[in-house]
Amino acid sequence: MVLGGRYPSRQRPVGWTARSLMDLTLSAQELQFRNTVRGWLQANVPPPWTRPLRDSEAKREYFAYLRDWQRTLFDGGWAGISWPKEHGGRGVSIIEQSIFQEELALAQAPDRLGVIGEGLVGPTIIAVGTEAQKQRFLKPLLMGEHIWCQGFSEPDAGSDLAALGTKAVLDGDHYVVNGQKIWTSFGHVANWCLLVVRTDSAAPKHKGLTCLLVDMKSPGVVVRPLRMMTGDEESNELFFTDVCVPESNLLGQVNQGWGVAMTALDKERANLGTGLYLRYKRHLDSLLERAKTMRRAGRPITEDPIVRQKLAQSYLDLEVFRLNSLRTLSGMSHSNAPSPEGSILKLYWSEMNQRNAQLALEVLGLPGQSWDFDDGRWGYNYLRSRGNTIEAGTSEIQRNIIAQRVLGLPRSY
Amino acid sequence: MVLGGRYPSRQRPVGWTARSLMDLTLSAQELQFRNTVRGWLQANVPPPWTRPLRDSEAKREYFAYLRDWQRTLFDGGWAGISWPKEHGGRGVSIIEQSIFQEELALAQAPDRLGVIGEGLVGPTIIAVGTEAQKQRFLKPLLMGEHIWCQGFSEPDAGSDLAALGTKAVLDGDHYVVNGQKIWTSFGHVANWCLLVVRTDSAAPKHKGLTCLLVDMKSPGVVVRPLRMMTGDEESNELFFTDVCVPESNLLGQVNQGWGVAMTALDKERANLGTGLYLRYKRHLDSLLERAKTMRRAGRPITEDPIVRQKLAQSYLDLEVFRLNSLRTLSGMSHSNAPSPEGSILKLYWSEMNQRNAQLALEVLGLPGQSWDFDDGRWGYNYLRSRGNTIEAGTSEIQRNIIAQRVLGLPRSY
Amino acid sequence: MEFDLSKPQKLLRETARATLSRHFPLSRVREWMAIGATNEDSLWSTIADQGWVGLHLDNSIGGLGLGLVELTVVAEEMGRACMPGPYLATTWAATLLAQIDSPKSTELLPSITAGEHKATVALMDQDGDWDLKNIAMQLTPSEPGWKLTGRKTLVLDADSAHTLLCVVRQSSKLAIVFVPRKATGVSCEKKRSLDATRSLYDVAFNEVTIAESDVLAVGEQAHSAIEQSIRVATLAACAEMLGAMQWIHETTIEYAQTRKQFDRSIGSYQAVQHQCADIHLMTESARAATYYAAWALTSNAPDACKAIAIAKAYCSEVGREVGHRGVQVHGGIGFTWEHDMHLFLKRIKVCEFLFGDATWQREQIARLILK
Amino acid sequence: MEFDLSKPQKLLRETARATLSRHFPLSRVREWMAIGATNEDSLWSTIADQGWVGLHLDNSIGGLGLGLVELTVVAEEMGRACMPGPYLATTWAATLLAQIDSPKSTELLPSITAGEHKATVALMDQDGDWDLKNIAMQLTPSEPGWKLTGRKTLVLDADSAHTLLCVVRQSSKLAIVFVPRKATGVSCEKKRSLDATRSLYDVAFNEVTIAESDVLAVGEQAHSAIEQSIRVATLAACAEMLGAMQWIHETTIEYAQTRKQFDRSIGSYQAVQHQCADIHLMTESARAATYYAAWALTSNAPDACKAIAIAKAYCSEVGREVGHRGVQVHGGIGFTWEHDMHLFLKRIKVCEFLFGDATWQREQIARLILK
């Protein structure tokens, strides 16, 4: 577990007393929060989804299942818990938010359909949206009626977001949008999109961008699923042809979209690590269990000293990630703000997961990478891990951020 | 061995015939060359130097020993063997040169005092020197009467050689030199120095440099030994205060020193790898022998599967270096010129030696890194290896060279 | 001394590259992948027509009489084209047959090299490894011949093979047994491979009747024949990885030169340059290790066994790294199904483990150097 | 939940940093190194006067009654200052004594914490390892007490210690024996360490007479006391590595900011930036792992043993890497004797292996997670 309770006060060893004030246990209030969450989840988490998602009918049903779950959360007061109360949230601390994530994972609750809405779009609307936008968008978002996606990256603007070329031209009281976006998660199920467009081609790159809130049912919006090397369609391309967006759906000021997008991305980077840790912990636990059942050349593979090294290395790597997450969480609980230190976590978990996905294949051997072994999860994890150092800011970008924004080295050329 | 002989034509396995024309055996002529070298070395290599070099008296005697060896080589016609015959060399091919290096190593011949003279200064004088300079310098160099050092790097001009600040001002028929050099191998025993100085401060960085041939006994030259983290004084700092250098000792054209220095460095980089391979092979062989004698926790360490992995990894890493060297040698034997591909060898051996020096410590454990274990060679090798990725062009510079000069990527910023 | 390919070898390479890219562009490879038809007959006959099946075998048995360097050249091009099909399996089986002095070898080899007959080797026991001493599956006596019961795993292209060469024990001795794929009691179960262009099977043998004459070799002869055939197959796997690395190398350097971000080609960033330099270093080093191993094995060099283990260990480690860096330099697009990068990453990934991964090969090296 | 140090802990850190840099600047460390006097008395009394010797022990035995987080704070500063001297050895020995319920403990501890008496632990047999089960050196009966003969290796600061706590066997049981350094039959042989600020010895015991009352603990009590003391000493070694990493971090980032090549600070090169980013990632991660281990051990957390092994494995791997990258970013100057970098690289190098290197610690982790 990431966030421990209190340990039983066993007999302390002779010789020292623990008067350390650095303290990794939860406060009484936090423990109470956890119990409340846990109790609610026990009563409300639906049975896990187990059916395969081979056809579109199954996918539709799965989507409804996830949307119902979001509605259940909303009704229980557990949607957008970190948002301010006046906007429908619960105003919990960052540590409580982390406890919530941890409990969701422990309860094997369904995935969250609204992560982009809750984590990125909503907070940005709260930060820079008009009163009317807040009224219109925040509640449906929390209820799961609006599913959001983000339209930032383009084929020719990946790491270099400011280079994007999707254009919007003001025509009376609406913008006309033309262009293409890529890497849009949830694009196939979203009904709204936070879109960054170029509104001034003459201005310097960063200065001519604007953010729009786009109804995905608008005529001229086409979504094409994007298949990854894993075989999953986990992302999408969006095509915009003469799409009309009312001027009232401008988010923030015109030509100030760069700042709005950066605000949004900073919120995205503020991943607390808890959910990720628990996901990878499940992978590792199941690897350990699997390894204990396997024999190679006449003996259990867990007796092979080299296999033992690899399993232990995976374990320690993941544990160091947990501790880094805890430490970042503790730091953020003071500042209550994301910081460039988040880049360290991103860099750490992405490269760790790549190392560990590889080690799992080495431990299991060639049979273990088949799609017919444990549902193919080990081969899948390996392939999926290769995207970790690219998505949400490549490792190169993260190292630049650490060097420049954390260590204060000069901008590189 | 790097360069094999021919293998006995054992019974070929049923099923295929070897009609491969890619052929890693030596030609009849090369084999004969090797026999000639081997025979001469057997008759002429002095007994190895075994005394420690603790005091200056011992160091003086060791220097005389090395100089005598250079003279012996010269007398036998084995000094500067790759030089053209008209300049006192033997004009051998690059493969023969490699065979010669290999045989020197196998015969445990003394180190070469004249590596900078023979490998770098001499070829540069041959390339751009005046007839008078050739007459004056080449023969004493080969005879070991002139020991050369190179004065290129400065404290503020390491990787960025063109930034150097040592100044030379023409005053009548001589230059007056002021400044400081660093990383000057052999500086403490050299009587001549190939010095790069700035003669035009107004010109762009690369354009105001000039090469001078400087008598180290000139008044105003001070040599200070530079101690490395190994404890060895393997290099020197040179200080020049109003040092007079006759104009006739200008090498190449005035303000054309950048090109001259680059010519010299390209020749330096054309290390054939053979000597290095054999040095590291000796290290590894002695590690294997050592490991076979050691027990830990009641059993020979060579029965520990993890130790076996580490030893095998060192072995294969070194073998891949050997094969890379062979392949580069083969390529150079066609072009008869060094190439930026040399950067691959440099990058490979420097990082390989760091990996292997570390693995040796892991195999031997904490006792093995003591200065009292095997004369401290394992700890020494580890420390010394850290310099490998810095000396003769850092790994960063080598990767730049590969990317830009081999792969044709654009100049980086 | 000449490390580079000779002129005829270079010609072979050019021919192979041209033939494969004409007949089997990656678009076609993807078509086969999509329908799971990695053993398409048209593919196989084209390859056999070139004489590449058994090109290292004697002319007397239908081979081209070339050496292992030439085999490596062709296998490298197979890797560079990400070719599906039973080339590796059949090369392995043909090499094994060629090591065995039996009427069956003489009978089968000409039709194998002609592309009419496909064969594969069933080596590894369930829960086994690549070490021959861990093969336990038994021939049991059954007058007048033998019965075979048990399960072999990681059998390449079993489904399309006409012949399985099954490595088993006759009491304590290793034996190589000829089993027709369609024999009663043989059943193949496809294990969907990470690399969809390469088919791996579990093969179950249930009381399969084996005639005495189908036990092709026993004991020392069987042992050395299998070992030598594994060396050749391992070499071919290294060559495939090398070819895949070569494709990634070319594709990645080109992408770095042309893809622009922040108004300049990404290849002008030092971080990208250094990734590319490492890709180059590793690919070229893998080339040196692989071709040396080919030469050493074909020349009976004393270090041939070591050279094969070294090449496989090295290619297994750096092949993966080259693949990873290739994806990373490409960024998101290199992670998509649409981009061809993953075909090569997956080809490398399966080859990494085939015939023993780096850990396994290092143990083989340790056995040789710590004797 | 608070991962950061508390205010008093931060104050302790500031005090330690200020004290060490005032009294023991690196120039002074080098003076001691040059004459081999790593155990100078003046150094030791300054440290003891601060109360740092046994700061984690009960007030009743002269300690400050603080916890292991505070010990880690001080040990980190020791590493950051590259302090010579028997702090680690004495901390280990005092912790061991404090675990043992014996009159000797009560007698010795107050003078140890007062800095008057120095002690060390003689644990590892010749050709042994860090596993207690591989300790074989025997106490042999010799009426009325015992005799001790054998050789211990890697004993920290044996020469300056007044007391050796020797870990041996009484028949099959582990035993901790009190041996005065000057006892007849004890001889120390210095093994010049790669880290000249840290002294390691072989200690030979030749028929040393041991009174019954000097056998301080036997069997399970001895076993658990030794294990617990090794955990604390391992934690201190991690903290020293962390301090050394911290020094390298600060020094390297500053150098990258100020050193110019090709007309710009080298810190503006992406390759250098990425090295610095990695140094930062590794140092901060080592900090998280080390302080967590301190907290877990001081709080009796259920995963305390694992946390110590994880911290040591992690620090051992990345400490080395941070040192290597620090040298590399500095270029030639970082490779010289004159630059202080090598002092820290060497400190890390010895700590990497002390109490078991990463390979050894991983096996300990495996034992805990594969139960």
Q: What is the CATH classification number for the domain harbouring B74?
A: 1.10.540.10
pLDDT of residue A337: 66
Judged against a pLDDT cut of 70, whether residue C313 lies above it is answered with: yes
pLDDT of residue C143: 86
Domains delineated in chain D = 7-85+108-113 (1.10.540.10), 119-219 (2.40.110.10), 222-370 (1.20.140.10)
Residue in B157, B164, B14, B144 with CA at minimum distance from that of residue B66:
B144
Q: Is the Cβ–Cβ distance between D189 and D214 less than 8 Å?
A: no
Q: How far apart are CA C348 and CA C345, in angstroms?
A: 5
- Kindly report the nearest CA distance between residue C128 and chain A, in angstroms: 5
Interval D23-65: pLDDT, tens: 999 999 999 888 877 667 788 989 999 999 999 999 999 899 9
A233 lies in the same domain as A161? yes
Would you place residue D171 in the very low, low, confident or very high pLDDT band (cuts 50, 70, 90)? Answer: very high
Q: Is the Cβ–Cβ distance between A382 and A361 less than 8 Å?
A: yes
Q: How many CB atoms lie within 10 A of CB D136?
A: 14
| Domain range enclosing A171 | 148-257
Q: In chain B, what are the helix, strand and coil shares in percent, each to the nearest 5?
A: 50, 15, 35
C370 vs B288: CB contact, 8 Å cut-off? yes
D269 vs C269: CB contact, 8 Å cut-off? no
Judged against a pLDDT cut of 80, whether residue B8 lies above it is answered with: no
A169 lies in the same domain as A253? yes
The tokens describing B124, both together, are 């540069």
Domain limit, last residue, from B257, B290, B311: B257
Q: How far apart are CA B27 and CA B96, in angstroms?
A: 11
pLDDT of residue A16: 37
CB < 8 Å to A412, chain B: 413
Q: How many helices (H) and strands (E) does chain B have?
A: 12, 10
Residue A195 lies in a domain: yes
Torsion from C-alpha of C125, C130, C136, C139, nearest 10 degrees: 80
The tokens describing B277, both together, are 């391979």
Residue B328 lies in a domain: yes
pLDDT of residue A10: 37
Residue A243 lies in a domain: yes
- CATH code for the domain in which residue A156 is found: 2.40.110.10
- CATH code for the domain in which residue A299 is found: 1.20.140.10
Chain B: touching chains (3 or more CB pairs < 8 Å) = A, C, D
Residue A369 lies in a domain: yes
What stretches of A211-367 show up as alpha helix (H) in DSSP? 257-269, 274-293, 305-335, 342-364
- Looking up tokens 């036998």 gives B76
CB < 8 Å to A367, chain C: 153-154, 191
Q: In B70-118, where do the E strands start and end?
A: none
* Low-confidence residues in chain A, pLDDT < 50: 8-20
Q: How much is the average pLDDT of B267-281?
A: 75
Q: Which of residues B58 and B361 earns the better pLDDT score? A: B361
Q: How far apart are CA D9 and CA B117, in angstroms?
A: 60
What is the residue type of C366? A
- Kindly report the nearest CA distance between residue B385 and chain C, in angstroms: 20
B241 lies in the same domain as B304? no
D274 vs C271: CB contact, 8 Å cut-off? yes
- Cα separations in angstroms, B306 against B268, B311, B366, D371: 39, 9, 16, 21
pLDDT of residue B1: 55
- Kindly report the nearest CA distance between residue C219 and chain A, in angstroms: 20
Average pLDDT across chain B, whole number: 90
- Kindly report the nearest CA distance between residue D271 and chain C, in angstroms: 6
Residue B36 lies in a domain: yes
Q: In this prediction, does ipTM exceed 0.85?
A: yes
Q: Within the 294-333 window of chain B, which residues sit less than 8 Å (CB to CB) from chain A?
A: 304-306, 309
3-state DSSP call for residue B223?
A: strand
B312 vs C67: CB contact, 8 Å cut-off? no
pLDDT of residue D277: 98
Q: How much is the average pLDDT of C195-205?
A: 95
Residue A139 lies in a domain: no
Q: How far apart are CA C15 and CA A129, in angstroms?
A: 64
Catalytic entry in B30, B103, B154, B268: B268
Which among A3, A316, A409 is the nearest to D365, CB-wise? A316
The beta-carbon contacts of A214-222 under 8 Å, at least 24 apart in sequence, are A214/A151, A214/A177, A214/A243, A214/A245, A214/A249, A215/A191, A215/A245, A215/A249, A216/A149, A216/A187, A216/A190, A216/A191, A216/A192, A217/A191, A218/A243, A218/A244, A218/A245, A219/A243, A219/A244, A220/A177, A220/A244, A221/A193
Judged against a pLDDT cut of 70, whether residue D203 lies above it is answered with: yes
The 8-class DSSP code of residue A10 comes to P
D270 vs A400: CB contact, 8 Å cut-off? yes
A296 lies in the same domain as A400? yes
Q: How far apart are CA A4 and CA D307, in angstroms?
A: 14
Q: How far apart are CA D262 and CA D257, in angstroms?
A: 14
C365 vs B312: CB contact, 8 Å cut-off? yes
C69 vs B20: CB contact, 8 Å cut-off? yes
Q: How far apart are CA D35 and CA D38, in angstroms?
A: 8
Q: How much is the average pLDDT of C148-167?
A: 96
Which among D265, D267, D369 is the nearest to A288, CB-wise? D369
Q: How many CB atoms lie within 10 A of CB B282?
A: 12
CB < 8 Å to C270, chain D: 269-271
pLDDT of residue B14: 36
CB < 8 Å to B158, chain D: 261, 331-332
Least CA distance to A397: which residue of chain C? C271
pLDDT of residue A54: 76
3-state DSSP call for residue A308?
A: helix
- Kindly report the nearest CA distance between residue B82 and chain C, in angstroms: 18
Contact pairs from chain A to chain C, CB under 8 Å: 111
Residue A123 lies in a domain: no
* Total domains, chain B: 3
- Cα separations in angstroms, A341 against A120, A263, A324, A337: 19, 16, 10, 11
B224 lies in the same domain as B171? yes
Least CA distance to B300: which residue of chain D? D127
CB < 8 Å to A391, chain C: 332
Would you place residue B13 in the very low, low, confident or very high pLDDT band (cuts 50, 70, 90)? Answer: very low
Q: How far apart are CA A365 and CA D225, in angstroms?
A: 41
Interval A31-40: pLDDT, tens: 999 999 999 9
A197 lies in the same domain as A299? no
Strand partners, B181: B238
Judged against a pLDDT cut of 50, whether residue D99 lies above it is answered with: yes
Contact pairs from chain B to chain D, CB under 8 Å: 111
CB < 8 Å to A310, chain B: none
Interval B18-28: pLDDT, tens: 444 688 888 89
- Kindly report the nearest CA distance between residue C135 and chain D, in angstroms: 28
B297 vs D357: CB contact, 8 Å cut-off? no
- Kindly report the nearest CA distance between residue A220 and chain B, in angstroms: 40
B410 vs C310: CB contact, 8 Å cut-off? no
pLDDT of residue C40: 73
Q: Write out the catalytic residue numbers of A.
A: 268
B286 lies in the same domain as B356? yes
Burial of A335 (0-12, 13-18, 19+ CB in 10 A): exposed
CB < 8 Å to B17, chain C: 58, 65-67
pLDDT of residue B336: 66
A366 vs C154: CB contact, 8 Å cut-off? yes
Domain limit, last residue, from B224, B257, B290: B257
The tokens describing C33, both together, are 């992948």
Q: In B233-351, where do the E strands start and end?
A: 235-246, 250-251, 295-296, 299-300
Which among D4, D7, D365 is the nearest to A315, CB-wise? D365
Judged against a pLDDT cut of 70, whether residue D86 lies above it is answered with: yes
Q: Give helix B274-293 / helix B305-335 axis angle, nearest 10°.
A: 170
A253 lies in the same domain as A274? no
A198 lies in the same domain as A293? no
pLDDT of residue A411: 86
- Looking up tokens 């690897």 gives A287
Residue A227 lies in a domain: yes
Which among B305, B412, B413 is the nearest to A305, CB-wise? B305
D194 vs B354: CB contact, 8 Å cut-off? no
Domain limit, last residue, from B113, B140, B164: B113
Interval B300-326: pLDDT, tens: 999 999 999 999 999 999 999 999 999
Average pLDDT across chain C, whole number: 95
C363 vs B308: CB contact, 8 Å cut-off? yes
Interval A233-284: pLDDT, tens: 989 999 999 999 999 999 999 999 999 988 887 776 555 677 789 899 999 9
Strand partners, B209: B198
A199 lies in the same domain as A294? no
CB < 8 Å to B408, chain C: 253, 257
Q: How far apart are CA A84 and CA A62, in angstroms?
A: 30
B274 lies in the same domain as B250? no
The tokens describing A402, both together, are 């650490």
Q: How far is C-alpha A207 from the chain's CA centre?
A: 28
> Mutating which of B277, B287, B289, B319 best tests the C interface, going by the most C Cβ atoms within 10 A?
B319
A251 lies in the same domain as A296? no
